[in-house]
Amino acid sequence: MTARSAPGGLDVLEGVTTRTSVPVRRRRDFLRELQHDVESLTEELEAEGVAPREARRRARTLLLPDGESLERWTVVHEPPWLRLRRVLEERRLRSIERGAFTAVVALAALIGAGLVRRIEVMGDPSAFLWPVLGTGVLLFAACLYHAVLLWGRGDADSVRRTLWWVLFLCTGTLAVAATGVIADVILLLGQLQQDPGQAARALTAALRRDATLLAIALLQAMGGAVFWLVATQWIAISEDALARALLDSRQSIFKEQTS
């Protein structure tokens, strides 16, 4: 309610869409709210006898946010974690984030290793099991990192640029497991040539080892692939909805400039 400079033109709406620290749904809803309110107020002013162009101009002046209002709106909708940026130094916040991230990944790795040790079929594991589990930990860390970026910070641009890492690690997990199976088969063949009498026992043990290795690798890769699919679809759907809301609101609020 203080004296302000006139709000911007078309760039006001772009300003809403580019506030990446605000969740996409909030940005889309705000555009829709602005569109409806400007349209309705314009209609009311026209009904009172104001010329259409002037009615739209007045509605825009009253309702479209200027830079300061947009900043206040951003603060209201920022996730609590991002609000810490306003009270903590950026460097300190980054180190807290890194610490929390490392702690979660380490905890998940410990829990995973504990569970694997308890499984009965792990009595005679493949030499490639631990490398497969290692890529699994990396895959989990990559998924967690992108989940925080996407749903915690709302930074879809960075996620789009680096999400290929998740697929790369899925492929890596499967490649390590496949290498393990091939190495096991070669070892088994050598064993069978030396001692054909032990064939049945050696074959059973190798099958069990390799099936476990492949199952774990497949589970990890499937988990990563599902995450990749969900993240890419989420970005596509939400950005499409935001782009549509922006287009609609631009055409409606700035009718005379866009027609």
- Give the 3-state secondary structure percentages of the chain, helix then strand then coil, rounded to 5: 85, 0, 15
Size of interface with other proteins, in residues (CB under 8 A): 32
Residue in 63, 141, 163, 169 binding other proteins, rule: CB under 8 A: 63
Q: What is the CA radius of gyration of the chain?
A: 28
Cα distances from 47 to residues 3, 63, 78, 146, in angstroms, run 28, 18, 38, 51
Among residues 64 and 138, whose Cβ is nearest to other proteins?
Answer: 64
| Cα–Cα–Cα angle for 106, 176, 122, rounded to 5 degrees | 65
Do 34 and 248 form a contact (C-beta atoms < 8 A)? no
Segment near other proteins (CB under 8 A), from 74-82, 125-133, 138-146, 223-231? 74-82
Separation of alpha carbons 104 and 118, rounded Å: 21
CB distance 113 to 57 below 8 Å: no
* Closer CB to other proteins, 64 or 129, in the complex: 64
Q: Should residue 73 be labelled a site residue for other proteins when binding is judged by CB under 8 A?
A: yes
Task: Determine, following the binding rule CB under 8 A, whether residue 247 of this chain makes contact with other proteins.
Answer: no
Taking the CB of residue 155, how many other CB atoms lie within 10 A of it?
16
Residue-wise burial string across 100-121, b where 16 or more C-beta atoms lie within 10 A, e elsewhere? eeeeebeeebeebeeebeeeee
| Contacting range for other proteins; rule: CB under 8 A; set: 69-77, 86-94, 176-184, 210-218 | 69-77
Report, in Å, the least distance between residue 151 CB and other proteins.
Answer: 18
- The residue among 1 and 87 lying less far from other proteins, judged by its C-beta, is 1
Q: Is residue 140 within the footprint of other proteins (CB under 8 A)?
A: no
- The encoded tokens of residue 218 equal 């497949």
Taking the complex as a whole, the smallest distance from the CB of residue 78 to other proteins amounts, in Å, to 11
- Of 21, 50, 66, 109, the one binding other proteins by CB under 8 A: 66
Binding to other proteins, residues 8-47 (CB under 8 A): 29-30, 32-41, 44
DSSP 121: G
Instruction: Indicate the residue among 70 and 246 with the shorter CB distance to other proteins.
Output: 70
What are the φ and ψ backbone dihedral angles of 49, each rounded to 5 degrees? 105, 5
Site stretch for other proteins (CB under 8 A), options 67-75, 113-121, 148-156, 231-239: 67-75
Which residues here bind other proteins, judged by CB under 8 A? 1, 4, 6-7, 29-30, 32-41, 44, 59, 61-66, 68-70, 72-73, 75-77
